[in-house]
Amino acid sequence: MTPTWYVTFESRPRILRARRRSPRQTRTFATEDEAKIFARSKVEEGLIVSTGTINPHLPRRHIPSSQVHQWLSEGQEDSVESAPLPDNE
């Protein structure tokens, strides 16, 4: 399956080297759900995360770090509302 989502996150410096390295890394995912799982783990580690779709995938989406928490909660309300209520018998 072709990747359609990316998650970019800050990487913690391991060892200071003479050569500068990019402080960010990017991973790609085939589905939005896979991207959310990975992004949630990085947010829980306290890292700054942004995400979005890879061109030419439509509709195009870019979720900046300031809106990642909102994006991660999308769909959770639906699954809570559609969950069956327990029987109290």
Residue pLDDT tens, the chain, 89 long = 889 999 999 887 655 555 566 688 999 999 999 999 999 999 999 999 999 999 988 899 999 999 999 999 997 765 545 555 555 54
> Torsion angle, CA of 80/82/7/40, rounded to 10 degrees?
20
Handedness of CA 37, 42, 44, 49 (dihedral sign): negative
Q: Which of 52, 72, 73 is nearest to 62 (CA)?
A: 52
- Provide the pLDDT for residue 23: 86
- Give the integer Cα–Cα distance in Å for 84 and 33: 22
pLDDT at 27: 97
Using omega within 30 degrees of 0 as the cis cutoff, is the peptide bond preceding 13 cis? Answer: no
The tokens describing 40, both together, are 């949630």
User: Which of 61, 59, 35, 60 has its CA nearest to residue 49?
Assistant: 35
Q: What is the pTM of this model?
A: 0.74
